[in-house]
Amino acid sequence: MRHTHGSIEVVCGSMFSGKTDELIRRLIRATIAKQKVQVFKPAIDIRYAVEKVTSHAGSKFDAIPIEKATEILNKLDEDTTVVGIDEAQFFDPEVVPVARELASRGIRVIAAGLDTDFRGEPFGPMPILMSIAEDVDKLHAICMVCGGEASRTQRLVNGKPANYDDPVVIVGASEMYEARCREHHEVPRGK
């Protein structure tokens, strides 16, 4: 089933807020509606399965790992009507024109990702995707300190908050992350 017009939807929030579960829920609904779905994820995301998007809760959906956002256009099947993009914050800035191009072709684009990094600052292309989207849903987790609503991702290194100057993206590192509210989110400056 072809859509009459394309759109961009963004599902964002901190780690452990259910972003990938929500993405998968929308993709399953599109599949039930007999729409052709393709999902793309950054090749660096190998946490659970290389060719699947997998939530922390264990939900899974087949996905194509790619290095650069422009690969989406090259790997897109002609009859695809819904494109899912997981961990959108890790993609290069080209994910924005790619999403626009797909929407202009009448494709529904659903992008999920962290809206802020461990510092609490806008993450990668997410702010621009959010601003050009027709629909943005910001999900919240539960603060691991007070049990309140969490909107931040806390990176811990050896049990202590990561420093502001630490790298934003660390592939294969053994850091631990927690969801935190604004009050309990800590990012010390300097080493």
The CA dihedral of 159, 191, 122, 51, to the nearest 10 degrees, is -50
Cα distance between residue 2 and residue 5, in whole Å? 9
Cα 122 to chain centroid, rounded: 13
Digit-coded pLDDT (tens) for 5-29: 899 999 999 999 999 999 999 999 9
Average pLDDT of the residues in 176-190: 93
Residue 190 banded pLDDT, cuts 50, 70, 90:
low
Residue identified by tokens 């989207």 is: 133
Q: Of 22, 67, 78, 87, which one is the catalytic site residue? A: 87
Q: Indicate whether 30 belongs to any domain.
A: yes
Q: Evaluate whether residue 111 is within a structural domain.
A: yes
156 domain-assigned? no
pTM of the model: 0.90
- In a domain, residue 158? The reply is no
Q: Mean pLDDT of all residues in the chain?
A: 90
**Does any domain span residue 119?**
yes
pLDDT in tens, 86-128: 999 999 999 999 999 999 999 999 999 999 999 999 999 999 9
User: 83: number of CA atoms within 13 Å, CB side?
Assistant: 30
Q: How many domains does the chain have?
A: 1
- Residue 1 clears pLDDT 60, i.e. is over it: no
pLDDT of residue 46: 52
Which CATH number fits the domain that encloses residue 40?
Answer: 3.40.50.300
Q: Report if residue 15 sits inside a domain.
A: yes
Residue 157 belongs to a domain: no
Residue 20 domain boundaries: 7-139
87 in catalytic set = yes
Cα–Cα distance, 30 to 147 (Å, whole number): 34
Confidence check: pLDDT of 171 > 60: no
pLDDT at 173: 54
Q: What is the DSSP letter of 76?
A: -
pLDDT at 164: 94
